[in-house]
Amino acid sequence: MTIAIYPGGFDPITNGHLDIAIRAAKLFEKLIIGVYNSPDKYLLFTTEERVELVRQAIVNQPNVEVEAFNGLTVDFAKKVGAQVIVRGLRMSGDFVRDFDMAMMNKYLFPELEVVCLMATLKYQFLSSSLLKEAASLGGNIDNLVPQHVAVALRRRSQSKM
């Protein structure tokens, strides 16, 4: 069985992330979305909240699971028996960062392959950071995230005021 991981912060998951996950789920027998627990980074949602938001977003994907992880991505891959890391690329800036990361991961775990999927055109600009900024300023983000994420973002933005 080919197991792939799709690691990230997902703070929060966007339709761009979801598009990559759904496409990757068609390529691999099992996809595990790894929600990175990053205690040293400011995050809008806790790890538990991000895991739950992702779980709700992929509820109709039978071969996709969600799991939080700490530490190196390659260690998470080894723990879950993954042979592949999936990455989504939006623009050239993503490529440079992901290329460097892929080379380090290859050094640390030579058997692990990296598969990069190009972001769908309508999500090329979309990032969680931009999304959070737009939501906090009252922007309409309804077509950029699953409905339950839009609700959570609005609720969190209102509570920060």
- Write out pLDDT tens, residues 115-139: 999 999 999 989 998 999 999 898 9
96 band by pLDDT with thresholds 50, 70 and 90: confident
| pLDDT of the residue at 11 | 96
Q: Is 90 a catalytic residue?
A: yes
Q: Report the alpha-carbon distance of residue 18 to residue 58 in Å, rounded.
A: 8
Instruction: Find the catalytic residue in 50, 87, 128, 132.
Output: 128
The encoded tokens of residue 61 equal: 């994907």
7: phi > 0 → left, psi -120 to 50 → alpha, else beta; which? Answer: beta
Domain extent for 143: 3-159
Q: Is 17 a catalytic residue?
A: yes
Query: Average pLDDT of the chain?
Result: 93
Helix (H) or strand (E) holding 118: strand 113-118
Instruction: Find the catalytic residue in 50, 87, 90, 132.
Output: 90
We report the CATH number of the domain holding residue 112 as 3.40.50.620
Give the mean model confidence (pLDDT) for residues 48-72. Answer: 97
Instruction: Find the catalytic residue in 23, 30, 38, 41.
Output: 41
Instruction: Check: pTM over 0.85? Answer yes or no.
Output: yes
Residue whose entry in the numeric block shows the structure tokens 């039978």: 62
Total domains in the fold of the chain: 1
Q: Name the residue among 160, 159, 157, 161 with its Cα closest to residue 136.
A: 157
